[in-house]
Structure 1
Amino acid sequence: MTQIRERTVLFADLRGSTGLFETLGNAEASGLVTQTVSLLGQAVNECHGNLIKTLGDGLMAAFDNPRDGIKSAMRMQELLLASSLRADRMRNMFLQIALARGEVVEIHGDCFGDAVNVAARLLDHAGDGETVVTAEVVHGLTHAQRARFRSLDHISVRGRGEPVHIYVLDQGRGDAAATQFGDVVRAAAPEGIRLVWQDLDRVFDLDSMPIVLGRSTQATYCITDVRVSRSHARIDWQGSSFSLTDLSYNGTFVRFGAGGQTLSLRRGACTLHGAGVIGLGGPPSDTVSPTVRFEILHVAEAERAPALLRRGP
């Protein structure tokens, strides 16, 4: 039987399973991943959703309303965290979740439609442990639930002509994002950020956030290098600072200042400050990997930024 109705579609993707196969072997790793995905499916049932299908190391589900979808996403993160606290082998596994709402076509227990496609593509824009949703999902939440989401503004989604306004569930990371270099000294509020890769020299103001760095032609800052993922990293404005989140398989690396230590973001995030370089797919010291120079701009620094960047970090 075919039905057409409004649904909230959820995709969840379990990251880190590749490492399990390397350390545990195929049989044990397959059993653990299957068990974990089944556990996540319990969160769908608990929140009155329909488990549409499992996808190897992930799943797809649908809900009648956004509130139940968000509750299920939060419950999934809780269940995975509890499992990782009980078992060391689960500590390097993380969950990415994306939700979209719209009209879907239901045929023989499966779902099709724009909301399905958007939710699946949004996983490319989610970091480990992140839940990203469309504006349509946020609009259907209670006031208390909406307060937990931070706008990422409009992002180009692969396969869709119009940009999609998305939000991320704020898990209190904010200024606590790791830098490994102690407390960041806050200057006057930044006005923007300059990025330079080869001849691609661009300045982004706060209204341009978020910035997606990637190989895709739909990325905000397109870097045409085979070591760069389609959506490799994302720069957000979090109210008082810029945050860089790795979205890739090969990793994102940041070096602050001249000859400073290099921070590996492997699906993590950090706060950007001052000036430095971002290595995509390899550390800045790797001459093969593309590196992007960045500088946080303030009003008084805007005019001298090009000279600073030409000298390099």
Structure 2
Amino acid sequence: MTQIRERSVLFADLRGSTALFETLGNAEATSVVTHTVSLIAQAVDECGGKLVKTLGDGLMAVFDNAADGVRSSVRMHELLERVVSRGKQHGASQGLSALRMQVALAHGEIVEMSGDCFGDAVNVAARLLNHAGDNETLITKEVLLGLGSAMKSRFRSLDLIAVRGRAEPVHVYVLDKPQVGDVAATQFGDIIQAVEPDGIRLVWLDLDRVFDIGSMPIVLGRSTQATYCITDGRVSRSHARIDWHGGSFSLTDLSYNGTFVRFGNDGEIVSLRRGSCTLHGSGSIGLGSSPTDLSAPTVRFEVLHFADTEPLPLGQSRSRG
């Protein structure tokens, strides 16, 4: 029987499962992934949703309302964290410890037919997963409008994002993670006290642009609809995203080949694979391979403080007298 209904559609996807197959072998890795997907699927039933199908290392579900869908997403992240934490306590492989999850929700009219669901909301939710970083939940504006004020306050806007296969961009929101005091943690060096910048400068070949805080988020990618378009075949359509949050710029990898950050001219290389790090000072961002690969598409960056000084040519350091 075919039915047309208003539904919130949720897609969840495990990342890092490839490493499990490399470390555990096919049989054991398949068992772990299947068990983990079955576990997070419990969150659908707990929150009054309907599991439409599992998708290898992910799932699709629908909910009568947005609030139940978001609650299910939060519960999924809690369940996965429990699996990963228990694995670490019992000396599980690094592959299990590296499991991450992305969740995306959209709301709208869908067609329910033969146990499956179809429609614009289904397509948008599925493709939003490509814009999500590790352990992120992304929702559309239509989902946000269906939430109570307390739950709405947990989301922040990523503004309009171009979604593949859709002519109109989608207003997307991300579920905030808890913040720790007023410091910004980075994957490079120690935790540093946040000194709020005003903008960020990006340079690739002759594409030299300065973005202020109001321009966030910046999507770096090959798509002509990306905020900062890098026309190189090794770059994903939406490869990485720069957000402004908590007084600092955060870079999140959205690709399958990874994003690599080098701080300064010869600093440590930070490898982001669906992960994030805080950008500070200046350095370079390698899209798909390390900035040390001279043939790789590399974007140089400088975090700017407009009130203090004009930006210097990238690669030239500021004296601290």
Identify the residue that residue 240 of structure 1 maps to in structure 2. Answer: 247
**Matched length:** 310
Identify the residue that residue 70 of structure 2 maps to in structure 1. Answer: 70
Identity of aligned residues (%): 66
1:139-187 residue CA offsets vs partner (Å, 9 max, x unmatched): 1112221111111111111111111111111112575442332233544
Identify the residue that residue 289 of structure 1 maps to in structure 2. Answer: 296
Identify the residue that residue 314 of structure 2 maps to in structure 1. Answer: 309
Moved more, 223-232 or 274-283: 223-232
Preserved CA contact (<8 Å) 1:101 1:137: yes
1:221-246 residue CA offsets vs partner (Å, 9 max, x unmatched): 12122332222111001141111111
With over 3 angstroms needed to count, the CA separation of the structure-2 counterparts of 1:92 and 1:240, relative to structure 1, is: same
Preserved CA contact (<8 Å) 1:184 1:273: no
**Distance in structure 1 (CA, Å) of the matches to 2:246 and 2:135:** 21
User: AA paired with 2:67?
Assistant: R
> 1:129: how far off?
0.6
* Structure 1: 5+ residue stretches without partners: none
**Distance in structure 1 (CA, Å) of the matches to 2:77 and 2:123:** 23
RMSD: 1.9
Moved more, 170-179 or 220-229: 170-179
1:200-256 residue CA offsets vs partner (Å, 9 max, x unmatched): 112222222111111222221121223322221110011411111111222211122
**Distance in structure 2 (CA, Å) of the matches to 1:233 and 1:301:** 28
**Distance in structure 2 (CA, Å) of the matches to 1:116 and 1:25:** 33
Question: Which residue of 272, 291, 304 maps to 1:265?
Answer: 272
> 1:310: how far off?
6.6
Preserved CA contact (<8 Å) 2:185 2:191: no
Preserved CA contact (<8 Å) 1:156 1:162: yes
Identify the residue that residue 182 of structure 1 maps to in structure 2. Answer: 190
**Distance in structure 1 (CA, Å) of the matches to 2:184 and 2:51:** 35
Preserved CA contact (<8 Å) 1:243 1:270: yes
Moved more, 257-266 or 161-170: 257-266
Preserved CA contact (<8 Å) 1:212 1:234: yes
Question: Which residue of 94, 107, 115 maps to 1:101?
Answer: 107
Preserved CA contact (<8 Å) 1:251 1:264: yes
**Distance in structure 2 (CA, Å) of the matches to 1:222 and 1:177:** 28
SS at match of 1:308: coil
With over 3 angstroms needed to count, the CA separation of the structure-2 counterparts of 1:176 and 1:185, relative to structure 1, is: closer
User: AA paired with 1:85?
Assistant: S
> 1:112-131, aligned counterparts within 5 Å?
112-131=118-137
SS at match of 1:309: coil
Could you tell me the TM-score, scaled by structure 2's length?
Answer: 0.91
SS at match of 2:232: coil
* Structure 2: 5+ residue stretches without partners: none
Whether 1:162 and 2:173 are equivalent positions in the alignment is: no
Identify the residue that residue 209 of structure 1 maps to in structure 2. Answer: 216
User: AA paired with 2:314?
Assistant: L
1:107-154 residue CA offsets vs partner (Å, 9 max, x unmatched): 122111111111011001101111111111111112221111111111
Preserved CA contact (<8 Å) 2:184 2:194: no
SS at match of 2:192: coil
Preserved CA contact (<8 Å) 1:253 1:279: yes
